[in-house]
Amino acid sequence: MVNPFPTKFNFLFLIFLPILLIFFRGIADLTVLFIGLFFLFKSYKSSNWQWVKQKWFVFSLIFWFYLLLINSPLSINSSESTLYSLAFIRWPLFAMAISMWLMNNNLSQKYFLMSLAATLLFIMLDVWWQYIFNYDFFGNPRYSLTPERLTGPFRDNPMPGIFMARYLFLLLYLGYFIKYIQTPIKNTIFIFLILLLGILSIYITGERMALIIFISGIIFVSIGLFFQYKEIRKYIFFGLFLIISFLALAQQAFPELNNRMITDLLYKLSNFSSSDYMQVFNSAYAVWIENPIFGAGFHQYREACIELGFWGSGGGVCMHPHNISLELLSETGIIGFMLYYLIIISIAFTLVKDFIHKKNWLLLFLSLNLLFISFFPLIGGMSLFNNWIGAIVWLFVGWVLAKSKDTKLTF
């Protein structure tokens, strides 16, 4: 496909992409939309639509048509669900554009990762500055409602940990682009340094779910290292030991966070049936049971929850289900849930088929980890269709597809 923009424009766009996707929620959504629409324009100009036949995208279209033709007409607010359903396709298009156009070669991927590294370094430094001095670089104070939480450069949004817990795993691919760290020992040291800096920085943000996600990802990555570098397994175990040790030391170094990040978390898990999380999950389950097959309608959880009388019954109740599975079930029903996860399973099979054939275990587990921390059915936290979160998870989809053989078609 002939690129109507100079190559330098593509690289410049990749340099600014992390900033556009991370710092501004509205701009992140517009960026996703622009990339998807421009990719369609490129496909039209070159009459190249081969990518439509990729299995995961076919499943995306099936899910989209289900939202438009079945879920929306049966929604408690049909017109609103239709609008949100129409907008869903921007996410798969964005992922396809990433894999087939913006990041379909090593140089583009390297440019993006270097820019992402600089962006995340700034966020981490800003978070530490705010932790030490109570204000970040821009004068933003700690989160007023929960002083243990930090906002970093996100003003009144206490969510820097969520971004670090996900985007930091992309930096682990740098070992494939920087020659100096491509030996097993050096790459393992590099990976564990990133993980160690990440877990300490996430810990001080006070974001419990971000910490859980990051620890889960560390386990995935460690398995990949264990299979890839059999000859240095003792160093891998030592790296895990260091992370566990520093996390234990963090409890002593940051005593004001210990109650929130460890004690309170363990208490909630041991008394989960009476926790505020369970109140939210019960309300989401009740919404789903009202219409288990087709759901209440895409983006209609809040209205359905309020109609059932759950509003005000607990903190966060009726805002959103705080769980991927319950969100899909309550809004799209069991049919929507299964169709959505057919997309993710199809992508995972693509990765497994390619990387196992090449016996590249580390690349396989790095890529599966991105899918795991994005789409694992039991993950709690922000809505899957939140602009910011959507931009992250579908960027990950595009990235892992770019690393697989099924996207080697060129434009």
On whether residue 1 sits in a domain, the answer given is no
323 pairs with which residues across the strands?
Answer: 380
pLDDT above 70 as % of the chain: 95
Tens-place pLDDT, residues 255-306 = 778 878 877 777 777 776 667 778 888 889 999 999 999 999 999 999 999 9
On whether residue 358 sits in a domain, the answer given is yes
On whether residue 307 sits in a domain, the answer given is yes
On whether residue 149 sits in a domain, the answer given is yes
On whether residue 2 sits in a domain, the answer given is no
- Between CA 356 and CA 343 the distance in angstroms is 20
Say yes or no to pLDDT of 358 above 80: no
Domain that holds residue 109: 7-407
The per-type count for the chain, helices as H runs and strands as E runs, is 17, 0
- Cβ atoms within 10 Å, residue 117: 17
Tens-place pLDDT, residues 137-184 = 998 888 877 878 899 999 888 889 999 999 999 999 999 898 889 899
- Cβ atoms within 10 Å, residue 315: 10
pLDDT band at residue 313, thresholds of 50, 70 and 90? Answer: low
Tens-place pLDDT, residues 178-218 = 888 989 999 999 999 999 999 999 999 999 889 999 999 99
On whether residue 135 sits in a domain, the answer given is yes
On whether residue 148 sits in a domain, the answer given is yes
Q: Number of structural domains, the chain?
A: 1
Beta carbons of 215 and 372 less than 8 angstroms apart = no
User: What is the pTM assigned to this prediction?
Assistant: 0.92
Tens-place pLDDT, residues 10-42 = 788 899 999 999 998 899 999 999 999 999 999
Say yes or no to pLDDT of 235 above 70: yes
Is 324 or 277 the better-scoring residue by pLDDT?
Answer: 324
> Would you call 109 exposed, middle or buried from its count of C-beta atoms within 10 A (0-12, 13-18, 19+)?
buried
Token pair listed for 332:
């799209």
